[in-house]
Structure 1
C-alpha cells in the first residue's frame, strides 16, 4: 500500500491491520495531526497530570481501550483531550503495531529524532492512528471525565464515563 510516505512493517508485526478511514488523512499529510483531537487515559488526576507524564496519545476509542486493558480496580481512570504544539517535528516513517509485539520495541531499536512518531494501532482500536510524543510536544491537557470501570454481563471489562459526555 502506498500513501506518499513510508509505512514500515517488520516480520514480527502483524501486517493484517486494516487502516481506518479516519487515519488516512493523518497518513497523507503529517501536519493534519495538529488539527486532530487526541486523547489520553491515565490514573493521574487533573491535579497530578502534566505534559511530562504523557508519552502517547490516540483516538478516543484507543484511550478508552487502553484504560480497560490497564484497569486498576482501586484507582480511578481519567480521560483527557491533548493539544499538540504545532511546531513539533514529525517522524516521516509510520509504524504498524502488531497484536503480539509492542511497537515500543521497534522504536527502541530504531529511535526517532523527531518529536512525534506515528503508528497504526494493532491492539487498541485497531487501524486507528496513535502517536508517541515527547513532553515538549504536549501544549495543553484538559480533563474531560472520569472513566468508571466495571465487569460487564459477559464477564469482560466495560467502561462508563462519568462527569462530562465525550464530544
Structure 2
C-alpha cells in the first residue's frame, strides 16, 4: 500500500479499526441497514441545516462542522470494512464532498466578482452579505477542502481496485468439455 489512506482502508478490511465498537461489530455482520441508515440520516440532517441557515458567518462554521462530521462518518464506513461501506465512503461521501466544495468555490468566486453589485442591490434589505475578504477567505477554505476531497476520491478509488479480487478468468477456448 502506497499511503496512509490505503493502509487505513486495508486495516478496516482486516477489522483493525474501531474493532471493539459495538456499532462496527454489528455492521460487519450485516452492513446494509447500518450504512444506508447512517448515510440517509446524516443526509437529512445536512439538508435541514443547509436550508435554514442564512447568516454567512454561521453558515461557514456549520459547513465546516458538517464536513468534519461527514469525515467522521466516512472513517466509520472505512472501519466497517465491507465493499458497500467502502463504496459509500468513496462515492457517497468523498465524491459528494468534492462536488459540494467545488460548487462552494465557484459560488464564492462569483460572489467575490459581484461584490459591489450585490452590495448595491441588497443595500435596502436586511440581508447580511459577507465582505470581499469573507469571500476570499471562503474561497481559500473551500478550495483546500475541494483539493483534499478530490485527492481522497482518487486514492480511495485506487485502493478499492487494489483490494478487489480480479474478475474470474474464463478458460481458453476449446478447453471446456461439454
Instruction: Output the TM-score relative to the length of structure 2.
Output: 0.22
* More helix, by proportion: 2
TM-score (norm 1): 0.24
